[in-house]
């Protein structure tokens, strides 16, 4: 009877050890499978012009200490909340007088084949000529009005009608300094490009005032 009891106890112990080992193996296998599972892509991020510019300006400081901007523009991607003055891709172009060079920096926050890799990507360096009217730098202090406000003003001057006709109407934002008028302006562009725009509205980037309808 004692031998039978001992054998039965040993049998139960063996079952317990086997069950524990099997559970550990299954748990380990599950962890490996979880580790191999691809991570879900991050949600798309959209920024207004000033928010994107701050990121790009900080990145550009490594190019030259006297760096100054002369152009900021967005790239339209389908689904971008343009009604909020936001875009998923922004490019700022900078110039350095001491270095005699130009360089562009692009921020992307979207997962799209039509967009650059997410994050900030520096462009290649080019030659800077201070007398070139197309590369007139401006001081950051001029940029007081963001792209969302510029969009609101543009809506009041023809944009709302276009957006009503086509809620998915592409909208781009372009910022540069007009040296003759000594004025920094947002240009809200309704269309895929400047050349084929259905409407272009200029808004003062310092005061937020409507300037003109350009097309």
For 55-91, what is each residue's pLDDT tens digit?
Answer: 999 999 999 999 999 999 999 999 999 999 999 999 9
Q: Taking the model in full, what pTM does it have?
A: 0.81
- pLDDT-derived band at 4 (thresholds 50, 70, 90) equals very low
Residues 6+ apart with CB under 8 A from 205: 142, 143, 144, 145, 150, 175, 184, 185, 186
- pLDDT-derived band at 12 (thresholds 50, 70, 90) equals very low
Identify the DSSP state of 82: G
- pLDDT-derived band at 34 (thresholds 50, 70, 90) equals low
Q: Tell me how far the alpha carbon of residue 16 is from its chain's centroid.
A: 57
pLDDT at 8: 45
Q: Name the average pLDDT for the chain.
A: 86
Exposure of 107 in the CB half-sphere (CA atoms within 13 A): 27
Question: Which of 157, 153, 141, 138 lies closest to 209, judged by CA?
Answer: 153
206 or 33, which is more confident? Answer: 206
Number of other residues whose CB lies within 10 A of the CB of residue 43:
8
- Model confidence at 33: pLDDT above 90: no
| Pairwise CA distance, residues 213 & 215, whole Å | 6
pLDDT at 158: 96
pLDDT at 57: 96
Alpha-carbon distances, residue 103 vs 44, 93, 116, 127 (angstroms): 26, 6, 17, 9
């Amino acid at each position: 009877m004692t031998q039978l009891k001992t054998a039965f106890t040993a049998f139960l112990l063996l079952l317990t050890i086997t069950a524990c080992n099997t559970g550990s193996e299954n748990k380990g296998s599950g962890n490996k499978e979880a580790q191999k599972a691809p991570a879900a892509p991050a949600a798309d991020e959209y920024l207004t012009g000033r928010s994107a510019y701050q990121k790009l300006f900080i990145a550009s400081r490594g190019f030259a200490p006297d760096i100054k901007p002369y152009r900021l523009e967005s790239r339209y991607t389908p689904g971008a909340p343009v009604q909020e003055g936001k875009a998923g891709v922004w490019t700022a172009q900078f110039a350095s007088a001491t270095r005699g060079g130009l360089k562009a920096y692009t921020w992307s926050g979207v997962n799209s084949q039509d967009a650059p890799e997410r994050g900030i990507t520096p462009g290649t360096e080019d030659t800077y000529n201070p007398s070139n009217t197309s590369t007139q730098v401006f001081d950051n202090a001029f940029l007081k009005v963001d792209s969302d406000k510029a969009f609101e003003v543009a809506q009041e001057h023809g944009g709302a009608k276009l957006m009503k006709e086509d809620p998915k109407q592409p909208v781009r934002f372009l910022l540069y300094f007009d040296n003759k008028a000594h004025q920094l302006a947002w240009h809200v562009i309704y269309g895929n490009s400047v050349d084929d725009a259905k409407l272009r509205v200029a808004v003062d980037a310092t005061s937020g005032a409507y300037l003109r309808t350009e097309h």
